[in-house]
Amino acid sequence: MKSYNRQYDTDFRSVMPTNLYGPHDNFHSQNSHVIPALLRRFHEAKLNHESQVEIWGSGNARREFLHVDDLAQACLFVMQQDKAHYQTQTKSMLSHLNVGTGQEVSIRELAETIKAVTAFPGALIFDSSKPDGTPRKLLDVSKLNGLGWQAKISLEAGLRDTYQWFVAHDDVRL
């Protein structure tokens, strides 16, 4: 991208988001990501009066999550930056900006928050015989923060927003 910008005198900018979630996510029971999968699983367990929800892995893996509305705001913010100011945080071979919260939570903490958001009254069961995946996924967002942008939507508020959307849209329950 930087070479293209230099050769054609353009000002394309690139962002790299962390794990995203929010309204209109993929809530499919077999091929969704962790947040929509857990929201659906907890919701269905509550509706079916199940006593527990099983979660793969130990719950110790740590992840960073960003609400899609924060990503949209970050993209607008990056596009609106003066070129000279933008270049204070990018370099020739490092021209993209990571977009995230800069905060991570364990899958256990995420599950406990989703349990509260969905008002599921049962127990959490972590199946350590299943894989945890990568132990940790956290982006360095210092360059974007250096430009003056920070995520505004807390994980709990974003989960509540996403869950409310999910409940209101029966058609997403595949």
Q: Could you report the per-residue pLDDT of 74-115, keeping only the tens digit for each?
A: 999 999 999 899 988 887 667 789 999 999 999 999 999 999
Give the model's pLDDT for residue 30. 85
Give the model's pLDDT for residue 148. 97
3-state secondary structure the chain: CHHHHHHHCCCCCEEEECEEECCCCCCCCCCCCHHHHHHHHHHHHHHCCCCEEEEECCCCCEECEEEHHHHHHHHHHHHCCCHHHHHCCCECCECEEEECCCCCEEHHHHHHHHHHHHCCCCEEEEECCCCCCCCEECCCCHHHHHHCCCCCCCHHHHHHHHHHHHHHCHHHCC
Let me know if residue 154 belongs to a domain. Answer: yes
Give the model's pLDDT for residue 174. 55
Range of the domain at 55: 14-167
Number of neighbours of residue 164 by Cβ within 10 angstroms? 12
Give the model's pLDDT for residue 7. 82
* Angle in degrees, 0-180, between the axes of helices 34-47 and 155-168, rounded to the nearest 10: 60
pLDDT tens profile 7-54 = 888 888 899 999 999 999 999 888 999 999 999 999 999 999 999 999
Confidence of residue 172 (pLDDT cuts 50, 70, 90): low
Let me know if residue 7 belongs to a domain. Answer: no
Let me know if residue 5 belongs to a domain. Answer: no
- Dist CA 24 CA 21 (whole Å): 9
pLDDT tens profile 119-155 = 999 999 999 999 999 999 999 999 999 999 999 999 9
**The whole model's pTM is what?**
0.92
Locus of tokens 């070129």? 83
Let me know if residue 3 belongs to a domain. Answer: no
Nearest-5° Cα angle at 4, 142 to 81: 40
Let me know if residue 18 belongs to a domain. Answer: yes
Let me know if residue 173 belongs to a domain. Answer: no
Let me know if residue 145 belongs to a domain. Answer: yes
Let me know if residue 9 belongs to a domain. Answer: no
The CATH number assigned to the domain holding 55 equals 3.90.25.10
Total domain count, the chain:
1
